Amino acid sequence: MATITTQIELYLKANSKSYKEERSNIILQNDGTGDYIHTWNVSGVAKPTDSQLASYNSAATTQEANNVVRGTRRNAYGDIGEQLDEIYKDIDAWKARIQSIKDANPKE
């Protein structure tokens, strides 16, 4: 199951808002059974219901999984300066290395 933060991010995006810009207007709390929205002060967008957030769970789970893959790929790719040097020396070897990293770490 995806985090409530990712579900909120997708809900805001669907309503033409950015979580990055609105996160200071949202306060989450945890009562021991999980996180929930304690305070919602997003102008022009109603506080989502539990069922509205749940409707984003599948997309949020995919987004979170893909974020893990992106991080794994970023680490495997290495330093950008080293990549540029590798491209300059042998672009075909660089392409093959990058493709093998992508093949080993597919996105959903």
Residue-wise pLDDT for 6-36, tens only, equals: 999 999 999 999 999 999 999 999 999 999 9
The backbone torsions φ and ψ at residue 21, rounded to the nearest 5 degrees and listed phi first, read -80, -25
Confidence band, pLDDT 50/70/90 cuts, at residue 108: confident
Domain extent at residue 48 = 4-76
- Tell me how far apart the alpha carbons of residues 50 and 10 are, in angstroms, rounded to a whole number: 14
Distance set, CA 67 to CA 55, 58, 107 (Å): 20, 14, 9
Q: Is residue 28 part of a domain?
A: yes
Residues in CB range of 105: below 8 A, 6 or more apart: 69, 72, 73, 76
Confidence band, pLDDT 50/70/90 cuts, at residue 45: very high
Enter the tokens of residue 18. Answer: 């950015």
**How many other CB atoms are found less than 10 A from the CB of residue 79?**
8
Q: Quote the pLDDT of residue 90.
A: 95
pTM summary value: 0.78
Q: Is residue 87 part of a domain?
A: no
Looking up residue 8, the CATH number of its domain turns out to be 3.30.56
Q: Is the pLDDT of residue 1 over 90?
A: no
Domains identified in the chain, total number: 1
